Amino acid sequence: METKKQIGVWMDHSVAHLMDSKDNGILTSDIRSEFTHQVKQEALNKNENIMHNKEQQQQSGFYHKISEAIKNHKEVLLFGPTSAKDELSNLLKADHHFENVKVEVKHADKMTENQRQAFVKEYFHIE
- Name the pTM for this structure: 0.84
Three-state DSSP state, 126: coil
Average pLDDT over residues 50-61: 70
> pLDDT > 90: what percent of the chain?
65
Note the CATH architecture for domain 6-124: 2-Layer Sandwich (3.30)
Contact 9, 79 (CB under 8 A): yes
Q: How confident is the model at residue 45 (pLDDT cuts 50, 70, 90)?
A: low
Statement: residue 82 has pLDDT above 60: yes
Give residues with Cβ within 8 angstroms of 63, minimum separation 6.
87, 88, 91
* CA-wise closest residue to 23 among 6, 9, 3: 3
Across the strands, what pairs with 89?
none
Q: How confident is the model at residue 2 (pLDDT cuts 50, 70, 90)?
A: very low
Who wins on pLDDT, 53 or 116?
A: 116
* CA-wise closest residue to 90 among 101, 80, 75, 103: 103
Write down the mean pLDDT value for the chain. 86
